[in-house]
Amino acid sequence: MNERRAGVFLDRDGTLNEEVNFVRTPDDLRLIDGAGEAVRKLNEHGLAVCVISNQSGIARGYLKEHDLVSIHARLEDKLAEFGARLDRIYYCPHHPTAGLPPYNVVCDCRKPKPKMLQMGIKDFGIDSDRMFVVGDSVVDIQAGNAIGATTILVRTGYGNISIDRCASENIHIDFVVPTIVEAAERIITLENDRPEHHG
């Protein structure tokens, strides 16, 4: 893997699938309209597409890690219906204060910490100048900012609340878009406009 590639890191709940306050079973998972097509377009442009998801429901005892395997299998099945795929799903099962051992710990992977992003960069040889983070929450934007990614906040999920909080706390967002559909379009446009793309 000599040539480094562009990479997109997508939040899960509220970005790819509808926010339902903890997806606990596969039946709870419903894709946001257009998400499948959006991921497929990113695939077609050769970008690595990874999910980075805080899943403190595991720490809180709402579900087990093996339940998450089934939920993520459904996510991948639903995306496959649109010809889309994820290169990897990274998740953090921890919470610093709530929940049950061994998950109730301060960890390095829970967003806004950037460890899940760093793992994806390493695993897929992602170019540090061509990283994109798409999410609906403040921690998504903070994690993206921590590694110098282009950050895109979607208005689905908790997006509108997050816009206000980022403004009040002076947290930088590169782009605000309605949904993952427009986020994918923006990423593809930015990639197409890169000087070497025309070279």
134 backbone dihedrals φ, ψ, rounded to 5°: -120, 125
Is 13 annotated in the active site? yes
Please name the residue that has the structure tokens 């970005």: 15
Q: Is the peptide bond before 102 cis (omega within 30 degrees of 0)?
A: yes
Is 67 annotated in the active site? no
68 backbone dihedrals φ, ψ, rounded to 5°: -65, -35
| Identity of the amino acid at 124 | F
Closest CA to 8 of 47, 52, 66, 60: 47
Q: Is the peptide bond before 93 cis (omega within 30 degrees of 0)?
A: no
Residue from 13, 28, 87, 108 carrying the catalytic annotation: 13
Q: Which residues are catalytic?
A: 11, 13
